[in-house]
């Protein structure tokens, strides 16, 4: 695809998501979702790194879901990052308004394990594209609005949308945060995810796949949220809770260097 073709396909996809065309199919008895009418990117997380100007990004970071739909947060988040893109990113570090979880702040540290010079908190990297697999947002009224609950219907629905997104971007590397994200991403791209203990899969390293006719590798890594950190550290010896995950991400850095894929 040419870049203009990518933009057109991306905007069509964004419109479908924003319109909530399959919203009701994502809901379960314990979790309900909402679409974000203000989001002009595929996902709110995409405003941080990625977006319509980064559709040739070689690296996609795939999370599970944003979490609760918070209108006040969204009203701050979108204009904040729009200003950050147009003005100097260094003057607009990652906002403190998204402080419900430590995920983003741990990611800042983990990316430094790829390259100590990386600073995703203060700088925009056009070779990165962040998104979540579930592209809707948990309703505050849900029984399990932040974590837990039956999200399987939403994961199934978004397989189709994520496959389309990956075909638009054509990344060389996809980093999957957590088991559910990894399994769902592999299925969306037409592959059967390997069975077995997830920590063992992480330690095994990247899996080679193809997106359309293009070679890609998928890295399974632990989710940097509290539960993911605890699961990755189970049975391990460490001084800092992120030590084991830093080693995992360092392997990603080695792969990128070997294959001459640069983030900076």
Instruction: Return the domain boundaries, the chain.
Output: 3-258
**DSSP code of 116?**
T
- In terms of Cβ atoms closer than 10 Å to its own Cβ (0-12, 13-18, 19+), residue 37 is exposed
Confidence of residue 94 (pLDDT cuts 50, 70, 90): low
At 73 the pLDDT is 76
Give the full edge-to-edge strand order of the sheet including 173-177.
128-132, 59-63, 173-177, 214-221, 207-211
Q: How far apart are CA 44 and CA 34, in angstroms?
A: 13
- In terms of Cβ atoms closer than 10 Å to its own Cβ (0-12, 13-18, 19+), residue 196 is exposed
Among the residue ranges 60-64, 86-90, 125-129, 191-195, the one predicted with the least confidence is 86-90
Mean pLDDT of 65-88: 80
Q: Does the pLDDT value for residue 74 go beyond 90?
A: no
Pick the CATH number of 3-258 from 3.40.470.10, 3.40.50.880, 3.40.50.300, 1.10.3720.10: 3.40.470.10
Among the residue ranges 19-23, 120-124, 195-199, 235-239, the one predicted with the least confidence is 120-124
Confidence of residue 146 (pLDDT cuts 50, 70, 90): low
Confidence of residue 100 (pLDDT cuts 50, 70, 90): very low
What are 164's strand-pairing partners? none
Give me the chain's average pLDDT, please.
90
Cβ proximity of 250 and 118 under 8 Å:
no
Mean pLDDT of 238-256: 97
* Residue 160: how many other CB atoms lie within 10 Å: 11
Strands 207-211 and 214-221: antiparallel
For 241, the token pair is 């809770």
At 145 the pLDDT is 54
Mean pLDDT of 112-117: 97
Mean pLDDT of 20-48: 92
* Residue 263: how many other CB atoms lie within 10 Å: 21
Most confident of 24-33, 91-100, 155-164: 155-164
Q: How far apart are CA 232 and CA 214, in angstroms?
A: 31
Mean pLDDT of 180-196: 97
Mean pLDDT of 176-185: 98
Q: How far apart are CA 1 and CA 262, in angstroms?
A: 22
Mean pLDDT of 210-217: 94
Q: Does the pLDDT value for residue 96 go beyond 80?
A: no
Nearest to 193 by CA among 174, 177, 209, 171: 209
Question: Which stretches of 45-143 are DSSP H helices?
Answer: 71-86, 103-114
What's the whole-model pTM score? 0.93
Confidence of residue 95 (pLDDT cuts 50, 70, 90): low
Spell out the residues 6+ positions from residue 74 whose beta carbon is closer than 8 angstroms to its own. 36, 38, 39, 44
The residue ranking higher by pLDDT, 48 or 8, is 8
Confidence of residue 98 (pLDDT cuts 50, 70, 90): very low
């Amino acid at each position: 695809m040419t870049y203009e073709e990518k933009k057109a396909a991306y905007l069509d996809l964004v419109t479908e998501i924003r319109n909530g065309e399959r919203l009701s199919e994502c809901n379960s008895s314990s979790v309900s979702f909402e679409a974000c009418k203000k989001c002009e990117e595929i996902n709110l997380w995409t405003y941080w790194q990625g977006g319509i100007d980064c559709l040739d990004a070689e690296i996609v970071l795939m999370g599970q879901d944003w979490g609760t739909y918070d209108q006040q947060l969204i009203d701050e988040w979108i204009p904040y990052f729009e200003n950050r893109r147009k003005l100097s990113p260094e003057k607009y570090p990652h906002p403190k308004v998204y402080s419900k979880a430590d995920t983003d702040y741990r990611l800042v540290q983990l990316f430094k394990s790829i390259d100590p010079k990386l600073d995703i908190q203060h700088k925009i990297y056009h070779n990165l594209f962040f998104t979540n697999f579930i592209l809707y947002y948990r309703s505050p009224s849900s029984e399990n609005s932040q974590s837990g609950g039956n999200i399987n219907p939403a994961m199934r629905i978004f397989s189709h949308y994520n496959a389309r997104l990956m075909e638009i971007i054509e990344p060389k590397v996809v980093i999957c945060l957590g088991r559910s994200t990894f399994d769902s991403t592999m299925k969306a791209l037409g592959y059967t995810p390997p069975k077995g203990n997830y920590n063992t899969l992480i330690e095994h390293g990247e899996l080679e796949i193809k997106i359309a006719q293009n070679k890609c590798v998928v890295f399974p890594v632990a989710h940097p949220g509290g539960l993911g950190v605890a699961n990755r550290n189970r049975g391990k010896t460490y001084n800092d809770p992120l030590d084991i995950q830093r080693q995992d991400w360092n392997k990603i850095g080695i792969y990128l260097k070997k294959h001459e894929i640069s983030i900076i």
